[in-house]
Amino acid sequence: MKKLYPALKPYVKHSLAVDKPHVLYVEECGNPSGIPVVFLHGGPGAGCDPSHRRFFDPDIYRIILFDQRGCGQSRPHASLEANNTAALIADIEHIREHLTIDRWVVFGGSWGSTLGLLYAQAHPERVSGLVLRGIFLCRQQDIHWFYQHGASQVFPDYWQDFIDPIPENERDNLVQAYSRRLFGDDELARMAAAKAWSKWEARCASLRPSAELVSSLSEPHTALSMARIECHYFIHDAFLQPNEILDNMDRIQHIPAMIVHGRYDMVCPIQQAFDLKKAWPEAALSVVADAGHSAFEAGTVDALVSATHALGVSLT
Ligand code: STX
């Protein structure tokens, strides 16, 4: 089983001003003349973590991580202004041009897979390969599964905690009900809602309970950006057309791609990876037999590190 590469520090950090009011945090690790790879984090709104640097061989890759608008070390924190999918795609291009990179590998899990697929479809000539985990097609049905009915049946106890802050007469649309609290003026209600929202996701994200994941996502700074930004995107169906990703697969059919998905993913059920694979037979799909949604369960780490290694060899 392959493990994460050793912890490492960035050799440079950037502050990149994009559309007002946003300033993005960008960092580079590994080999400055290696194969460029951009890491797309989840949520949207979860931000990067130092452990995300460790999926890539630092001798082979020039590893670029950034915090999407409104989260992590990007500013202003938890801002929904000018925060939408097209803007994030434009930011990726902005970063690529700023770093004078011609083509790069795109690595993303969960919402990072959504964004990676959309970025590649918009700019296929800029993508040398894709490594995608926990496929999230972000259709209405995929959002409904996690925030209305589906995962609720697998984790009824955690679900109860998720719906507790919402009065019964508002529970027919939980994303809407949460938005009123997450976007409202009452600071205490906002934080309580943010914690309940993020905790639900963290608790469902691994096959075996992970206290570490729950505590890191319940941390107020992360909980607030993730809950507000996710809710904002999901109220707007992620600013996508119905079935947008699957309808545009012809644009990226030729790009080398590896998909990794945990069999017991309850945040983004594996059917989404199968729907993607059906539309993209050339992509390699690796099903991890004993994993959920998180990137950090042992089998998923093994598959992801194997994928970045194999892609690195094929691109050298
Ligand atoms: N959110 C999907 C997503 O991107 C609905 C995501 N889900 N869990 C995560 O990200 C963590 C990895 C942050 C737990």
Would you state the structure tokens that stand for residue 291, as one six-digit string? 């994993």
Share of the chain above pLDDT 70, in %: 100
pLDDT at 256: 98
Say if ligand 1 is within 6 A of residue 296 CB: no
pLDDT at 29: 98
Mean pLDDT of 231-257: 98
Spatial strand order of the sheet with 61-66 comes to 12-17, 23-30, 61-66, 35-40, 104-109, 127-133, 257-262, 284-288
Distance from Cα 36 to the centre of ligand 1, integer Å = 24
pLDDT at 184: 95
Mean pLDDT of 238-249: 98
Say if ligand 1 is within 6 A of residue 293 CB: yes
Task: Tell me the pLDDT tens digit for each residue of 105-131.
Answer: 999 999 999 999 999 999 999 999 999
pLDDT at 295: 98
Distance from Cα 201 to the centre of ligand 1, integer Å = 7
pLDDT at 86: 98
Mean pLDDT of 259-274: 98
Would you state the structure tokens that stand for residue 183, as one six-digit string? 């976007």
265 is catalytic: yes
Q: Where are the domains of the chain?
A: 12-139+239-315, 141-237
Which amino acid is it at 263? R
Mean pLDDT of 84-97: 98
Q: Has domain 12-139+239-315 been given CATH number 3.40.50.1820?
A: yes
pLDDT at 299: 98
pLDDT at 304: 98
Average pLDDT, the chain: 98
pLDDT at 290: 98
Distance from Cα 227 to the centre of ligand 1, integer Å = 11
Task: Tell me the pLDDT tens digit for each residue of 1-52.
Answer: 999 999 999 999 999 999 999 999 999 999 999 999 999 999 999 999 999 9
Q: Which of 110, 113, 152, 294 is catalytic?
A: 110
Task: Measure the CA–CA gap between 293 and 133, rounded to whole angstroms.
Answer: 8
pLDDT at 156: 98
pTM: 0.98
Contact predicate 98/131, CB 8 Å: no
Say if ligand 1 is within 6 A of residue 132 CB: no
pLDDT band at 224; cut points 50, 70, 90:
very high
pLDDT at 302: 98
Peptide bond into 36 cis (omega under 30): no
Task: Tell me the pLDDT tens digit for each residue of 140-193.
Answer: 999 999 999 999 999 999 999 999 999 999 999 999 999 999 999 999 999 999
pLDDT at 23: 98
Mean pLDDT of 301-311: 98
If you take atom 3 of ligand 1, which residue's CA is the nearest one?
Answer: 43
